[in-house]
Structure 1
Amino acid sequence: MTFRKLRLLMSKYGFSILFMGFELWASFAGFFWLNKWFPHWLSVAVIGLLYVTTILAIVNRNTPPENKVTWLLIAVIPVFGSLLYLMFGERRLSKKEMAQLKNMESMKFREDNSKQLRAELKQESKAVYGMVKSILSMDHNADLYNGTASTFYPLGENMYEQLLEDLKAAKKFIFIEFYIIDEGLMWNSILEILEQKIKEGVEVKLLYDDIGCMATLSGNYTRRLQKMGIDAHKFNKVIPRLTVAYNNRDHRKILVIDGQVGYTGGVNLADEYINHIERFGHWKDSAVRLDGRAVKALTRLFLMNWYINRGEIEDFDRYHIENKAVEGQGLYIPYGSGPKPMYKSQVGKTVYQNIINQATDYVYITTPYLIIDYDLTEDIRNAALRGVDVRIVTPHIPDKKLIQIVTRGAYLDLMDAGVKIYEYTPGFIHSKQVLADDEVAVVGSINFDYRSLVHHYENAVWMYQTPALKDIRADFEHIFEVSQEITEDTFRFTWHQSLIKEIMQLFAPML
């Protein structure tokens, strides 16, 4: 057992997991204990009613069919299945959360000056206008922006160097929201700058996912940061209580400086993301830096999750005072995606589908995990069948071996339609980016898997005809050069890998 795992086991997180296990056992034990006090016919009737009610609830849920199938398999287990579904099947909002959701829905951020941009885009390309309209319909925080310059970073270490310089130049505020933060060269050098900025009067807000950081940061780490003057908090703080809310993690990567400069992508604040340490071979990640109007949307995305977590409504407008347009080509939409009911639609999935469905020449995709539903699989297949050059790159060296088996399980069905599959031979590719026809690209935190597309809070930047697209295309060409193409002749599964794949695919919606 590694020191990190031992520290986790002995921490408050280990205690919380132990206590939640006890809660689960007590729920089942209590049910069977009460069952002894009822007549046999009444017990059978109650169990039967519970079973039928659970089945009807699952069938009538507004959720993807794959998720229904998984829960139906669990529900057939007498008593246990129904109790598990009651505990973990659906996210039920508290009164406080319902009030928060109502307040968020009443907040309107759409700016009038984007109407002209949309009107011009509709005349130029109805297909691209349709993508824009779809995003703005699903995410009311999002808007279409020009007046923005962008820089694409094909590696985390490239982004890191510029990030430090931007942090040193901060004058008003710094917002940081990441899934993983780990002490080391990257985070410690950032923290050193933050300490200095606080002394200069700069406001610093920090939000990190508690589960994402439970193996990297101590349970009381926010206290240390707060003593330094950082307004630091955990998203979905782990407490010894069973709740489905733990399934909705904050997987976003957002850093905003003075509302003028913003970063997002796949890079977390840990040393493997800048290849300072090696975990799974060479770590290939990517990020994008925005400077200008589009950073407003990143600022609002941060503040919305801050509100969800903290219950504090900020004065949104005061964080946009310093935002100015800069010279730059193309259009941008930074957007968010997340679980129901906070988001009524699967934003991340729909954006990917629209790009794939409207591509005419090529679609290039990088993702660390490829665990997708029937709809998205068919969209990718259909693009290849109509002659689009579809290429997908996944890691050759995995961070999770069982997940790689499920990822590889998707290969044959896609390759059969003409999709080209590559594995990044030097190591682990963690970047989440899509490029189509040299016109449209997405860079962000959204993986091609159920966790990102259904369960997690995510974010990305949609870009149209921006200069960064050339750099993204060059990055893809380099990736193809160093990656191994998987073919039907060379791809093989052992019998036990096939068995694991078949079993795990049944539960893929929960992975």
Structure 2
Amino acid sequence: MQTQDGFWNKEESYKFEATFFSIKAICRVVGKNDDKINKAIHSFLNNQEPNGNWGNKFDTCYAMLSLLSVSPPFSITTEEFMFDKILHEQEMIFHKPYFIHTSPIYDEKKFVKEIYNKTREIFNNANETIRIISPYIDMLYEDIIDLKNNNPSLNIKIITRPKKDANKRLRERIAKNVLDLLEIGTKGNLRTSEVIHSRLIIIDDKELIISSADLTREGLYDEFNAGIYTTDEDTIRNCIDYFENIWEIIKE
């Protein structure tokens, strides 16, 4: 809602006040180096009168407070320190990796299937790309196919082991068909390798699960498996490089 002249609120009697609070809010959310803030500060400086004031005493106060909001802090109040500390802690909670697992027996025989639940959750967050490495697959393949049908522009890339390997390990009736269904459902974006052993899922270059669990009944329900979920950008970038390297090697 910033106006062309760099202020907020077109009414002369309120625009300095509204602009100060807008600058303060934007500084809190995205920092001081925002284009809208720079535009507003230039407007304040260009509107300063020869005597150093900005119109009446109230507008002068709001102009000076606005300039102080984006100036290097020479001192900081306890309130501002605590706000920054809480904000940092919230950011760390959001980006911090956390442990997920599958445990048939856990905490007084309580059944845990966190890897399955988290996998389904992040599948539903996908808008652009899903990358999957799983040596064996006999679960969630229907979810993958449905996601592609509901969003044809979604790019789904799967790396798994060949069908002959799958038939050795998986429930045979499902194993015979699942890779063919995924090949069709992903529009040919399924590649196989006999030396695949890692398990990871990357969603939209934003979310990552690395675990010991295959996308199988055993891996997601019946066995003890453990993994990590993270949104850390560096970790995800490295995993994408790892995935794409395998993808290209298999193609060659």
Task: Give TM-score, length-normalised by structure 2.
Answer: 0.55
Whether 1:388 aligns to 2:157 is no
- CA distances 1:422-443 after superposition (whole Å, capped 9, x unpaired): 102xx32111101111111111
* Structure 2 SS opposite 1:448: coil
Q: How does 1:44-443 map to 2 (within 5 A)?
A: 120=90, 145=93, 330-339=95-104, 342-372=109-139, 376-385=140-149, 386=151, 387-396=153-162, 401-403=167-169, 406-407=174-175, 409-418=177-186, 420-424=189-193, 427-443=194-210
Q: Distance in 1 between matches of 2:123 and 2:209?
A: 12
Whether 1:448 aligns to 2:199 is no
Cα deviation, residue 366, structure 1: 0.6
Contact 1:357–1:379 (8 Å) recurs in 2: no
| AA at the equivalent of 1:339 | P
Structure 1 residues 481 and 357: alpha-carbon distance in aligned structure 2, compared to 1, 3 A threshold: same
Contact 1:331–1:466 (8 Å) recurs in 2: no
Q: Distance in 1 between matches of 2:142 and 2:162?
A: 24
Q: Distance in 2 between matches of 1:442 and 1:352?
A: 8
Q: Kindly indicate whether structure 1 or structure 2 has the higher relative contact order, using CA contacts under 8 Å at least 6 residues apart.
A: 2
The structure that has the greater radius of gyration is 2
Q: Distance in 2 between matches of 1:458 and 1:348?
A: 8
Cα deviation, residue 384, structure 1: 1.4
Q: Distance in 1 between matches of 2:146 and 2:198?
A: 24
Q: Distance in 2 between matches of 1:466 and 1:371?
A: 30
Q: Distance in 2 between matches of 1:454 and 1:118?
A: 36
* Structure 1 vs Structure 2 CA RMSD: 3.0
Q: Distance in 1 between matches of 2:88 and 2:177?
A: 41
Task: Give TM-score, length-normalised by structure 1.
Answer: 0.29
Cα deviation, residue 379, structure 1: 1.8
Q: Distance in 2 between matches of 1:454 and 1:120?
A: 32
Structure 1 residues 363 and 117: alpha-carbon distance in aligned structure 2, compared to 1, 3 A threshold: farther
Q: Distance in 2 between matches of 1:378 and 1:401?
A: 19
Structure 1 residues 428 and 358: alpha-carbon distance in aligned structure 2, compared to 1, 3 A threshold: same
| AA at the equivalent of 1:336 | H
Which residue matches 2:240? 473
Structure 1 residues 346 and 396: alpha-carbon distance in aligned structure 2, compared to 1, 3 A threshold: same
What is the percent sequence identity of the aligned residues? Answer: 17
Contact 1:396–1:428 (8 Å) recurs in 2: no
Structure 1 residues 417 and 334: alpha-carbon distance in aligned structure 2, compared to 1, 3 A threshold: same
Q: Distance in 2 between matches of 1:452 and 1:445?
A: 8
Cα deviation, residue 120, structure 1: 4.3
Contact 1:366–1:431 (8 Å) recurs in 2: yes
Q: Distance in 2 between matches of 1:119 and 1:358?
A: 24
Contact 2:163–2:179 (8 Å) recurs in 1: no
Which residue matches 2:16? none
| AA at the equivalent of 2:155 | D
| AA at the equivalent of 1:352 | T
Q: Distance in 2 between matches of 1:384 and 1:452?
A: 24
Q: Distance in 1 between matches of 2:251 and 2:237?
A: 23
Structure 1 residues 397 and 117: alpha-carbon distance in aligned structure 2, compared to 1, 3 A threshold: farther
Moved more, 447-456 or 476-485: 476-485
Which residue matches 1:462? 229
- CA distances 1:79-106 after superposition (whole Å, capped 9, x unpaired): xxxxxxxxxxxxxxxxxxxxxxxxxxxx
Cα deviation, residue 463, structure 1: 0.8
- CA distances 1:388-434 after superposition (whole Å, capped 9, x unpaired): 1111111239666523765452023233333521102xx32111101
Aligned length: 160
Unaligned 5+ residue runs, structure 2? 1-85
Contact 2:99–2:229 (8 Å) recurs in 1: yes
Q: Distance in 2 between matches of 1:418 and 1:370?
A: 14
* Structure 2 SS opposite 1:430: coil
Cα deviation, residue 480, structure 1: 0.9
Cα deviation, residue 354, structure 1: 1.0
